[in-house]
Amino acid sequence: MLVLSKILALLVYPLSLGLLLLLISLLSSMRGLRGFAWLMALMAFLVLYIPSTEFGSSGLVTPLEGRHPAFTPEELPNADVIVLLGGATDGESRFGNGADLNNAADRVFMAAELYNAGKAPAILISGGSQPPNRPEAELLAAKLEVLKIPRSALMLESKSRTTHDNAVYSAKLLKQAGHQHILLVTSGVHMRRALTLFEQQGLQVTAAATDHQLLKFDPLVPGWLPTYSRLARSSRALHETVGYWVYELTGKI
């Protein structure tokens, strides 16, 4: 079921949807449906182009990141535990040593910064994986140890595969340890969904959003030119927006 949902989720991404529309255009052209083929080709272009521009990317990301801006450690309250959500690595690299951090690596550094600022005495890392890969919680724990976070301060939740699972499994561990107030560390675009799910578990949650990706000043590349980074930002925002809707429809939120 999880694999099927991941495959279906690909249709949310502009790249996958654009390629699908191009395939439909090609097949329609081969069947002599020229007008429909041109329409599908135009839709494919727009689906790929608009999210790849600064205007399209900003329009999708701003409602999510703007809802949860960043705070310095001094502006955040003390809590029982810092909860670091997985998603900062795609797994162990084939030719490297350990995990390769991805675009959400800021989560790891934010958790370490909050710990070093004395905001909480422990960090719970939540994240599982598809066997035979090592759970992401273990991989991120190794990264935090490199940042001089003592192993004794780390709690690992290594069964979750979704944000809903992150909340359910983490809450169980936290309540067993008598913890109630958490500083939730995840990306700005992901915080809306994660915060809602953790609060539903009866926890007192303070958002410690990070990994905000919209630039403060105009980029060097003109906004109307399509770029990979803009398309990637748009794809992540669409994933989060649709994910929130799906959780609403399924009663998880």
Query: DSSP of 180-219, one letter per residue?
Result: -EEEEEEEHHHHHHHHHHHHTTT-EEEEEEE---S-SS--
Digit-by-digit pLDDT tens for the chain (253 residues) are: 455 556 666 778 999 999 999 999 999 999 999 999 999 999 999 999 999 999 999 999 999 999 999 999 999 999 999 999 999 998 888 888 888 999 999 999 999 999 999 999 999 999 998 888 899 999 999 999 999 999 999 999 999 999 999 999 999 999 999 999 999 999 999 999 999 999 999 999 999 999 999 999 888 899 999 999 999 999 999 999 988 998 898 888 8
At 119 the three-state DSSP class reads: coil
Q: Where are the domains of the chain?
A: 13-66+228-249, 73-210
At 13 the three-state DSSP class reads: coil
pLDDT value of position 154: 98
pLDDT value of position 6: 62
Q: Dihedral sign, CA of 217, 221, 224, 228?
A: negative
Backbone dihedral angles phi then psi of residue 96, each to the nearest 5 degrees: -100, -170
Size of the chain in residues: 253
Q: Dihedral sign, CA of 173, 177, 182, 184?
A: negative
Which of 131, 140, 186, 187 lies closest to 161 in space, CA to CA?
131
Q: Is the domain defined by 73-210 classed in CATH 3.40.50.620?
A: yes
At 89 the three-state DSSP class reads: strand
pLDDT value of position 250: 86
pLDDT value of position 94: 87
pLDDT value of position 37: 97
- Residue appearing with tokens 């701003």: 62
pLDDT value of position 5: 56
Measured from the Cβ of residue 23, the count of other Cβ atoms closer than 10 Å reads 12
Contact status, residue 51 vs residue 45, Cβ threshold 8 Å = no
pLDDT value of position 10: 72
Contact status, residue 136 vs residue 89, Cβ threshold 8 Å = yes
> What distance in Å separates the CA atoms of residue 205 and residue 208, rounded to the nearest whole number?
9
pTM over 0.85: yes
